[in-house]
Each structure stands twice: as structure tokens, then as C-alpha cells.
Chain A
Amino acid sequence: MTTIVAEHETETRTSFGIESQVSDGELMLRIAKGDAEAFEEIYRRFARPILGLARRRLADPGKAEDATQETFVSIWRSAGSFRPERGTGSAWLFAVARNSIIDRARQRTETTLEEAPEQASSEPDPSEVAESDWLAWEVHTALERLPEREQQVLSMAYFSGLSQTEIAERLELPLGTVKTRTRSGLSRMATLLEGVKDRGEA
């Protein structure tokens, strides 16, 4: 484990820029003051998780992209309403994204107050959907915080199904380096995701 810890510490210093040390909440407060760089950093951290959430909830990729863009408009315009004492920046962003996605998904239909149509209950339990969305959000945002080289090997292993040997061949790296980065990435993910499963099941 000594090797892994050494690489972990080195990566924290060399791969994480100054912005990466700033919490999401601090960035939100800076955005509220019109800081475009903080806005870019929030985009870097959350664009893919937000797009992933939108794609889960909207069948149309174009609508998902629109909802993602609308989410960032909302973030820029209403960052002043973020209150650190009421929750984390990530939770606030999740709520903003969810509302933009619901808004995008809505259907403008002509119904009457007296005769609103009964809707079939074919959708999954909303609480399960919400829990699943939140779990994916936590994992995706944690993954986005990893150094690029750790994120790369974890994505290839978990999302492309490649073996460590195949990853090593594709990246032209020694097998030991791939395993070290995988351990380091998982270790960092474990820290970032500590208790997530318990919170999701609560």
C-alpha cells in the first residue's frame, strides 16, 4: 500500500488544480457575485453528471442537452439563492437540475379542471427513481473529481468492461501502473462516497 499512498499524495498536489480545492458551495457563492471562472469550474465538475441525469429521465438526447443547458442558465442566474447552511452545493445543483429536467419533460396538454384524465401508473415508484437518480449523481460527481488518469482506468474497467491487461495494452502502460491507479482511484472514490449507500437506503 505504500506505493499507492505515495502516488495518491503526489496526484493531489500535481493533478488537482487550485480550483479543485475549492468546495462546490464556495464556488456557488463566487458565482453569485458574477465570477465566470467559478461558473466554468462548476461546469467542469457537474456537466456530465447533469447530462447523465437528464438522459436518464428524458428519452430524447436533444431534450437532455437542452435541459442541461437550461440547468446552467438557472445556476448562473439564481446562484444568489444558494444558502450553505441549508445544504451542500452538490445537493442544490441536483435540485436545480431535477427541476429543469422536469420542466423540460412536461407536456402541455389541454385538460379541464373538472375532467382531468386519469394517468396510468406505469412509471416506477418515484421514491425509487429519486433514490436511483441521487445515487448515480453521487457516484458520477465523485468520479468527476478524480485525477484524469484514475478516472480513465476506472471508466475503462467499469464502463467498458476491459480487463487490467487490456487497459494496460490500450494505454501502453505497465500492468502494475494500471492496478496502482485503479486502487488509488477506488480509494479516493471510497472516501468521497463514504456512507452514500447508507444515506440512500435510509
Chain B
Amino acid sequence: MEKHDLGDLVGDDLSDAELDALREADELLRAVEPLPELPEGLSTAVSAIPHTHEQLDRKSSRRQRFARRRPAVLAAAAALAGIAFAIGWLVRGGGEDGGSPADIVTLEATQHASNEASMVIDVFPIDEGGNWVLLADVDGLGPLGEGQHYELWLTRNNRVAASCGRFLVDDNGQAHDIWFNAPYRFSEFDDWVVTREGPGNERSRVLLRAPVTTRTS
């Protein structure tokens, strides 16, 4: 496709300085593809979102408490593992309004990751499509190499069995508000794990791990 010179587009009565002022915008517009037209159904579907999806209270007291007192919380988590089932059951019962997490899962670093690494997942009740909705924050993971990504899995018998999704991290090893869908029965799995995938990772080393404690049918 022919793209005309800047001079052709704006006329020949501009000074060099005036042309220069427009040149970067001109070059950037030449470098990108056209904006797509919106499909008709998309606007309708999106306009219904405020009426069909509840907003989440992302400042849940549990998560805030975790952020402020992470070491204490981690220690307590180990001690309280035995009653995780009961807590999960109670929380799930209290979260049936769809706005509160049914469970909060904390994945901790294995020997293959920095001690600082962790992931916190809010497990929300099953949506209309039959998926568990997961909202995660991750911190302390290492930088990714070329073509690599992190991936959240559910495992069975020490093998990754179901992927919940891939994600990237920023330069500080963090990512916030990562949404996943999990159309699975958690009771069929053993652990949540995070691995690094892609070139240079012939073996999927588990970087973060937590047992599956969310009791679901």
C-alpha cells in the first residue's frame, strides 16, 4: 500500500520546524497496523458486564494482612495446615455471594526459587461457565529468558496434569492481578505448582508449590 510523504499529507507551506514537529507522529503512524473495527456483538457483550459481573473487593482483609505480615502468616500457615480444610469449608460457605474468595492459596518457594518468591491466589466461586475464577499476585520470581514464561499447574502423582495458565513478571519479578480460569475438580489434584517453561527448561522445575486444600466437588 502506498503511503504518501509527510509533505504530501500536510501541504508544502509548512516550515522545516513545523514539519519536524509532526514527523515523529508521522513515523509512528507508519509503523503500526490499522486499528481494527469492533465486532457488533462485542459492544453489547461488554456493556452487559457491569450488570452481570460483581466487582471484587481486592483489598480483602486477608490479603492485606498477608502483605503486611507475610513471615508470620507463612509460619502460621504451616502450623494451621491441619485445619485448612475446615477454614476452606467455612470460607467457601461465607463466600457464596460471588464477591468473596472461596479460598486463598499461598504457594511458597521450593529450593529452586528465591526464598522471597511466593504466589497468592484468591479462588473465587465457580462462574456461569463452570470455571473456578482465580486471581493471583506473584512476587520474587526471577527474570525470564528469551521465549520463556511461568505457568501455573495442578499436579497429580508428581506430574503436571492441568494448566491453569501462563504469566510473565516485571523486572522486579512481580505480577499483579493475573486472572486464570480453572475448569477442574480440585479434589482430583494434589498440588498447585508454578514452573518456568520455554527454551532452556528441558525439565520443568517446580519453583513454587502449595497443596490443594480447596474442597470442591
Contact = CB atoms under 8 A, between A and B. Distances in A.
Interface of A: 1, 32, 34, 36, 39-40, 43, 47-49, 51-52, 55-56, 65, 68-70, 72-74, 76-81, 95-96, 98-100, 102-103, 105-116, 118-121, 123, 125-127, 135-136, 138-140, 143-144, 154-155, 157-161, 163-164, 179, 182-183, 186-187, 189-190, 193-194, 196-197
B203 A116 contact: yes
A34 B49 contact: no
Contacts of A105: 166
Contacts of A160: 1
Most-contacted residue by chain B among A96, A114, A116, A118 (CB, 10 A):
A116
A144 B167 CA distance: 28
Interface string B166-192: 111000000111111100000000000
Interface residues of B, number: 79
A163 B38 contact: no
A81 B36 contact: no
Per DSSP, are chain A's interface residues mostly helix, strand or loop, or mixed? helix
A183 B12 CA distance: 12
B24 A197 contact: yes
Most-contacted residue by chain B among A106, A121, A135, A154 (CB, 10 A):
A106
Contacts of A70: 179
B26 A186 contact: yes
Per DSSP, are chain B's interface residues mostly helix, strand or loop, or mixed? mixed
Nearest to B180: A103
Most-contacted residue by chain B among A52, A112, A136, A138 (CB, 10 A):
A112
A65 B39 contact: yes
A106 B2 contact: no
A150 to B, nearest CB: 11
Given A52-B36, A102-B166, A182 B50 contact: no
Nearest to B31: A135
